[in-house]
Amino acid sequence: MPQVAFSFGKIEPHLVVLPLFGATKGGLPQEFLGTGFIAGSQRRLITAHHVVKDWEGPLVAVLTPQNHPIRLSEVRHDDDLDLAVFDFQRYAPTSWFILAEDRELHENYHVVCPEYGTTRKIGGEIEISMATRVGNITRRFDKHHFLGKAGEGALELSFPALRGASGAPVLSSQDMKVWGMLTANVAYHLIPAQIETIVDSDTHVAEQVQFMLPQALAIHVKHLRAMLAE
């Protein structure tokens, strides 16, 4: 297996992976929704449709660290694939990710997932924070009963998806090509992994439950390629 160490190379992640917000009519960020990223030769923004579909007002992506909001215009969405594609208004991206071919995906290679699930609203201020997860694909399988059409060839990852991480890219640590897009967890709740019975000096019996975090699911890159090719 390759080393865990990785580099984004010439790509500045803050310019390619962006936090998405529901905005006021004036275009100011109001409610944090999730994560999106720029990919493909057309330099469009991709995210999970469930991230944005319930917001009825304007949508913006925010460039950090200057916290500059950019309005988005929807190009298309697909409920069955849980994908949405946007163009930027008055902004031309200078960097973008390349979508990998199916043959480039390997379970035993490390993947990198930059996402904004750690973003918080504190008082009246929004604290934008990117975190990077590193792991691997644990398996590829069909998850139709959970994700519908998007579950075809779903990627199960070795780390969980936090709230707000949906729409983040799953990238090869070797060349930063997109292998998939984060969409959900295998389970919605923490899973009891082990229960130990403890007896104290007063013979009181207590149970100590240790939990295992659920594993993230990602939509296979083939669905992203098809969406951008339409």
What is the C-alpha separation between 17 and 169, in angstroms, rounded? 8
Q: Tell me the domain boundaries of the chain.
A: 13-188+214-229
Q: Exposure pattern of 62-88 as b/e (b: 16+ CB <10 Å)?
A: bbbeeeebbbbeebebbeebbbbbbeb
Q: What is the pLDDT of residues 111-143, one digit of tens each?
A: 999 999 999 878 778 899 999 999 999 999 887
Are the CB atoms for 179 and 100 separated by under 8 Å? yes
Q: Which CATH class is domain 13-188+214-229?
A: mainly beta
Task: Tell me the pLDDT tens digit for each residue of 43-65.
Answer: 999 999 999 999 999 999 999 88
**Residue 148, phi then psi, degrees to nearest 5:** 65, -140
- Cα(177)–Cα(159) distance, rounded to whole angstroms? 19
